[in-house]
Structure 1
Amino acid sequence: MATPSSSSGNEGLGKDFSEETVTSEPTSSKRRKIEALQELCQDTELDQDVNSIACRQNVDEGTPLEDDEVRWLIVGVCLHKIISPTLRKYVPQTMQRLYANLKLSDSIDTQTFAHYLRRYTPTNKELNYEAINNNSTVPKIRGRRDIQNYDYRVHDEVELSKLFLQTHMAQYTGFDDTCDSSALLGIIINVDTFPAALRSAAKAVRNDIRNEWAHCNFSQWDMNKFQTSFVLMKHMIGCLNLSAQEERDILQLTDTWENNGLDILHGAVGFSVLKELKKETKSLAEYCQSKSRTSDENFKKILQSLTNMLDELESVKTRVSALENKINGLCKHQESNKGTNYFTAPNRIEVFVGRENELKQLEENFSAADNLPCIQAISGLGGMGKTSLASEYSWKYREQYPGGVFWVSIESDNTLLDSFQQLASSVALQYKEKEKDAMREFLRWLSTRPDKWLLVADNLDSDELTETMAEFLFGFWKRDTKGHVIITTRREGKHAKETLKADFCIWLKKLTPPQSIHFLKTRTATDAVQDEEAVVALAKELDGLPLALEQAAAHIKCLQCTFQEYWAEFKTERLHLLKSLDCRSNWKMSRERLTVQTTWNMNFDCIKRQSEKEGLGTAAVTVIEIFALLPAARTNLRILRVNPYKTIIGITDWRGGEGVERIKLDLYHALKSEFKKKQILEILSRFSIVKLTKEDKVIMHPLVQETIEKEMTKSHRRLVLESFVHMHGLALTEGEMVMFR
């Protein structure tokens, strides 16, 4: 299966989030899928084959499955393939213990009608004996159940579990393939010996996912429903208290299916994904066929839908099989020339809107240069989407760079050299320990690549170029190479072109009002017909700034509030911010920074509340502040760890008042738990404060970093850093503290 990768730019095959705008127009979606097939090849003969297939496929038919059907199908596969098998392993142990206890306390294995356990005492739930021992077949007397002739003996933990369910849900013979997700979730919800957090999570999965999936109403399965379903399933998996490795494996499989679904929705129909989806759809259909013989009419409806989908998937497979064989042959033919196709760009972003012309301009400029060296600068104010544009270009045109796509951060010498060390290691280069050796060795290796490559230098925002930056940008290593370079910078267009010696420079302006409105609706997965005035007003106030639009959309989507509700809160928060600025007469703030500051403050307040709600205390906020204070915008997640020799006694001995102690204790407890760390990162990603990469890196936008840091007092900055380094068992001198801003 495809391995996935993750606001205002997009994604394709192998991404964490979607590549293009999720549109309600089926024809647009279908054309994208045809285009995705066309992008799979560069060979002229192969291109003709793809065009032939595309022409034979009526555009009105497109990819047979509609988007809502795809989302419904992927969620169903996850329930059947991931959730059910996981719960089948988890449920038996708890039920075995409960059965042993009830045998001792109530002789539940030998009880008769004269004396049997009618209600489960801890919850006062009436037990359903009709569900066991074929009691449902006992003839009724005058339309009423003949409970005197029931067999009340409970022979094992499987039969015990059935007592907590309705009869039609208890048709399984063991905790095996006959026991589906509905029964398993019902057992967890109704038996109090399961942890309270798990019971609550299971209830949400049953009510909001499994039951609605069984109703087979495709129109409910929009993008918001799809993404919420995966959030709920992952949360429940985290409540199972599995081993760290087992939880990691299950979450990784869940992520893979989520991203494969997004790939299909956005046109990246990989062959391996298609085959795996067909296999799992067939398995799901076979299960529904067995259920339809004994269960309600819903399963017959589901079975019919799945049977139709299988036919449609088979037709897709037939149409592309010839193309697959041709591609495989071409790959084998070119294998010796291509070598490894390296790709180190960040995860693709969820929504890419409003930069289509600039994206096309990048491609046309590079195409004109062909295999000759070419440098393009993308310049613009902070938060304009420079990195998003460079990332989208890297993903969209990665097939044009068989020599590899590489990404470095040029924010400072430290981040630049660190990027090159990672690149050198990723291509197995040997280099000395001197400061610039990794950079020089990698650039030497890159200059000898026989195929065309792309190198992106992100965030060149310093006023002066250092010696290291100049060596990288202007060195002789680029001569006679087949390389393209993109530099993102805040320098003004003409100045950027001159000082960076770029062949072309693209200056990013703000998004237009229609583009901003389109982005907000797409990112929040709503058409907002009832909220149109608020959307227009909010888009106008956010002034076309992609970073502010992304943070606002993340807020609306996470809290599922209306545009009107967000707009009212935004105006209130902005007024408070302006009043606080008036008190600092020497402080000037641009409109762009004021907009970002307002959206950030609103998200920050929500994160504080969510952190408390999920039992993390102040930890999520402290982790944000740690990321903001670290020198690099791209940080390895391994820094979020606790020295194993640190104890709770050592933590409580730290100097400070009650508030200080709480900050440190909350951080300590959160970083000690892998699950809590995942909770924190999920919250921060949800509100678009950070982005996570598949290389376990966390990325925070420089403008967000600056905004957070300026809000912190000097004493609070020191507290956060001291808390952070103390977790590692380190001690910083005054000079070292200065290094961390």
Structure 2
Amino acid sequence: MATVKLGHVVNQLLQDSTIISDYGRFYDALDVRYPEYIQLTNRYKNAAAKTCELFYEILQYWVNAEKGNATIFKLCDILKGAEFVNAADNILKLGDPTTLIVAPTRQQPSNSTDISQADKSFNITPPIRTFVGRENELVQVKEYFKEKRTCVVTSAMGGQGKTQLCKKFVEQIQDENPSQIVTWFQGDTYDQLVASISQYTEQLGLQVKDSSGKPYPVDKLINNISAKLLPRKFPWLVVIDNVDSEYDGFPEVIEEFTDSSASVLITTRRANLLHGETEQLKLQSLSDEDAYKLVHNALKNVDHADVQLLCKLLGNHALACAQAVAYIRAQQNCSTAGKGYKISDYITEFNQDKAELVKYKLKLSKYDETIYLVVNKTMKFIREADGQQGEMSQKIMDVLCLVRPDGIMVEYLNKLVDQYVLGMLGRPMKLVKILQKVDQLAEDDKYIRLKYFNAGLFRLQEFSLINLDYEEVSVHRMVQKIAKIDSEYAAGYVLIPIVELEKQQHQSCNTL
């Protein structure tokens, strides 16, 4: 029987704002009595638990109570009975109604010094649903990590699937070994890496500053983390994503992790990162077979020759193929007229756009040109088809061009977009100031557009331009790079330094 992980179910569920605002009715509809429900909801109301944690714990209890009978059909039936129709429709996208929802059995720590299941993962999200292939690469990574304290560098051009490969690998090893500890850190800059390590340190309940309030150096943080993890003798994998330069302090951080018996997996666009000191895995474009699977599996009733031609046209590049698939699928779903939209139509339009692009004399590599055409085509359609909602989608992309690409909290992004629409560029204001400005606008067109934020955000996700995971937004760096080319906002204004954004984000969100 086919299965789907609980995390994927929660992700789909939280795309419906109605169920988020009425979680009590959802809990009642499940007809279970979770012993820790009151404590959980109190933590949620006090912002000590995220929305995703609230729904995950409730659903985990329900799945375990069903004892192997928690199917997509059963959950959707409950959702529809409670009038959460949109949420049910979202869940049905995960697979056949007979698909079984699986969740780890809830376990209580044997003593207070044990590591909780939640602390065994940090910043982990599942791979995209369209992930296919890469079997040989996954086997190779697994072989590398048979030796402890190994460091593996996975390199490729942007958009070839480095991050998704690592997410798939993490998913596999956590399935095989529930005791596996995996911590995922952002490595764009030294400051971001240290900030990410500090966040995990705090998650473990450890101090990040000394008695005088001075932040601990990163080696101290890693040693403190190690001291808490290693007595449990669980295997520890550290993933450091998007390290595109060997900045000062980076080799020393890697050495600290490996000295602490951690294995390290790095993604980068730089082929010679830590060359000679690490195992190197260089990703190429998808094979013909894998590219074909990506397109064919995502679309129904397609012509074999058209699939092959599309993959060849897009160079078998994972990101380009995924973007094209999302566009074609959205065209087929958007209206009765669109149901006849075929891969051949996309190919024709793509070639027309390519011929038109010559007029603009953009200095792009062949690969960048392909991604540009795919992303630009999608954004143009959204702007023209969605009216004011489409305008909001464009505003969101304008802002996303300038912030860190990973883990932007939705509330924080909303504030930045509000200020952009209101013509008040700069660091995020407190929400009360934004609302005061909105009140002054009354029925002004700008105010009306602000109401489309959630719809505009979900539209970008529908077209695979962003990844919306619970309460955080991420945008692929290549999409970010390409979108910035056409953004008037990005061209004329630097919103806020990325490093400074990293430091302020958590604090700013608390002012909402």
Please report the TM-score for the alignment, with normalisation by the length of structure 2.
Answer: 0.69
- Residues 299-310 of structure 1 mapped to structure 2, 5 A cutoff: none
Mapped to 2, the partners of 1:543 and 1:335 lie a distance apart of: 54
- What one-letter code is carried by the residue in structure 2 that aligns with 1:360? V
Which residue is equivalent to 2:172?
396
Which residue is equivalent to 2:324?
552
Summarize deviations over 1:17-70 as a string: whole Å, max 9, x none.
799xxxxxxxxxxxxxxxxxxxxxxxxxxxxxxxxxxxxxxxxxxxxxxxxxxx
Residue 13 of structure 1 pairs with residue 5 of structure 2? yes
Which residue is equivalent to 2:121?
343
- What one-letter code is carried by the residue in structure 2 that aligns with 1:688? S
Query: Is this contact kept in 1: 2:320–2:370, CA < 8 A?
Result: yes
Per the alignment, do residues 631 and 435 of structure 1 end up closer, same or farther by CA in structure 2, a change over 3 Å counting? farther
Residue 418 of structure 1 pairs with residue 190 of structure 2? no
SS at match of 2:207: coil
Mapped to 2, the partners of 1:415 and 1:697 lie a distance apart of: 17
Which residue is equivalent to 1:429?
206
Residue 575 of structure 1 pairs with residue 355 of structure 2? yes
Which residue is equivalent to 1:590?
365
Instruction: Give the number of aligned pairs.
Output: 420
- Aligned-residue offset at 1:556: 1.2
SS at match of 2:179: coil
The correspondence for 1:405, drawn from 173, 177, 182, is 182
SS at match of 1:277: coil
Query: Is this contact kept in 2: 1:16–1:348, CA < 8 A?
Result: no
Query: Is this contact kept in 2: 1:429–1:441, CA < 8 A?
Result: no
Per the alignment, do residues 597 and 436 of structure 1 end up closer, same or farther by CA in structure 2, a change over 3 Å counting? farther
Mapped to 2, the partners of 1:276 and 1:679 lie a distance apart of: 34
Which residue is equivalent to 2:393?
620
The correspondence for 1:470, drawn from 226, 248, 251, is 251
Residue 363 of structure 1 pairs with residue 142 of structure 2? yes
SS at match of 1:407: strand
Per the alignment, do residues 357 and 678 of structure 1 end up closer, same or farther by CA in structure 2, a change over 3 Å counting? same
Which residue is equivalent to 2:308?
536
Query: Is this contact kept in 2: 1:513–1:544, CA < 8 A?
Result: yes
Per the alignment, do residues 690 and 253 of structure 1 end up closer, same or farther by CA in structure 2, a change over 3 Å counting? farther
SS at match of 1:688: coil
Summarize deviations over 1:119-162 as a string: whole Å, max 9, x none.
xxxxxxxxxxxxxxxxxxxxxxxxxxxxxxxxxxxxxxxxxxxx
Greater CA deviation, 531-540 or 340-349?
340-349
Mapped to 2, the partners of 1:626 and 1:544 lie a distance apart of: 29
Mapped to 1, the partners of 2:483 and 2:75 lie a distance apart of: 50
- Residues 8-87 of structure 1 mapped to structure 2, 5 A cutoff: 13-16=5-8
Residue 704 of structure 1 pairs with residue 475 of structure 2? no
Query: Is this contact kept in 2: 1:461–1:489, CA < 8 A?
Result: yes
SS at match of 1:408: strand
Mapped to 1, the partners of 2:270 and 2:359 lie a distance apart of: 31
- What one-letter code is carried by the residue in structure 1 that aligns with 2:8? D
Per the alignment, do residues 349 and 282 of structure 1 end up closer, same or farther by CA in structure 2, a change over 3 Å counting? closer
Per the alignment, do residues 422 and 248 of structure 1 end up closer, same or farther by CA in structure 2, a change over 3 Å counting? farther
Mapped to 1, the partners of 2:354 and 2:345 lie a distance apart of: 14
- Aligned-residue offset at 1:509: 0.6
Mapped to 2, the partners of 1:442 and 1:348 lie a distance apart of: 28
- What one-letter code is carried by the residue in structure 1 that aligns with 2:226? S
Mapped to 2, the partners of 1:514 and 1:484 lie a distance apart of: 31
- Aligned-residue offset at 1:604: 0.8
- Aligned-residue offset at 1:486: 0.4
Summarize deviations over 1:84-127 as a string: whole Å, max 9, x none.
xxxxxxxxxxxxxxxxxxxxxxxxxxxxxxxxxxxxxxxxxxxx
Per the alignment, do residues 270 and 396 of structure 1 end up closer, same or farther by CA in structure 2, a change over 3 Å counting? farther
Residue 459 of structure 1 pairs with residue 247 of structure 2? no
Per the alignment, do residues 596 and 250 of structure 1 end up closer, same or farther by CA in structure 2, a change over 3 Å counting? farther
Query: Is this contact kept in 1: 2:382–2:390, CA < 8 A?
Result: no
Please report the TM-score for the alignment, with normalisation by the length of structure 1.
Answer: 0.49
Per the alignment, do residues 636 and 333 of structure 1 end up closer, same or farther by CA in structure 2, a change over 3 Å counting? closer
State the identity %: 20
Mapped to 2, the partners of 1:693 and 1:282 lie a distance apart of: 20
- Aligned-residue offset at 1:429: 1.7
- Aligned-residue offset at 1:465: 1.5
- Aligned-residue offset at 1:283: 12
- Aligned-residue offset at 1:441: 4.6
Which residue is equivalent to 1:379?
155
The correspondence for 2:295, drawn from 514, 520, 537, is 520
- Aligned-residue offset at 1:620: 1.4
Is there any run of 5+ residues in structure 1 with no aligned partner, and where?
Answer: 1-10, 20-226, 264-268, 289-308, 654-660, 723-729, 731-741
Mapped to 2, the partners of 1:633 and 1:363 lie a distance apart of: 26
Mapped to 2, the partners of 1:472 and 1:403 lie a distance apart of: 21
- Aligned-residue offset at 1:505: 1.3
SS at match of 2:308: helix
Which residue is equivalent to 1:633?
406
Mapped to 2, the partners of 1:603 and 1:251 lie a distance apart of: 38
SS at match of 2:264: strand
Mapped to 2, the partners of 1:347 and 1:681 lie a distance apart of: 20
Mapped to 2, the partners of 1:621 and 1:247 lie a distance apart of: 31
SS at match of 1:428: coil
Mapped to 2, the partners of 1:571 and 1:397 lie a distance apart of: 42
Mapped to 2, the partners of 1:380 and 1:278 lie a distance apart of: 39
Mapped to 1, the partners of 2:75 and 2:164 lie a distance apart of: 39
Mapped to 2, the partners of 1:411 and 1:578 lie a distance apart of: 33
The correspondence for 2:344, drawn from 564, 572, 576, is 564
Query: Is this contact kept in 2: 1:13–1:270, CA < 8 A?
Result: no
- Aligned-residue offset at 1:633: 3.4
- Aligned-residue offset at 1:650: 7.0
Is there any run of 5+ residues in structure 2 with no aligned partner, and where?
Answer: 31-50, 82-95, 333-340, 419-430, 497-503, 505-512
Summarize deviations over 1:377-427 as a string: whole Å, max 9, x none.
111111110000011111111143625211111011332233223212222
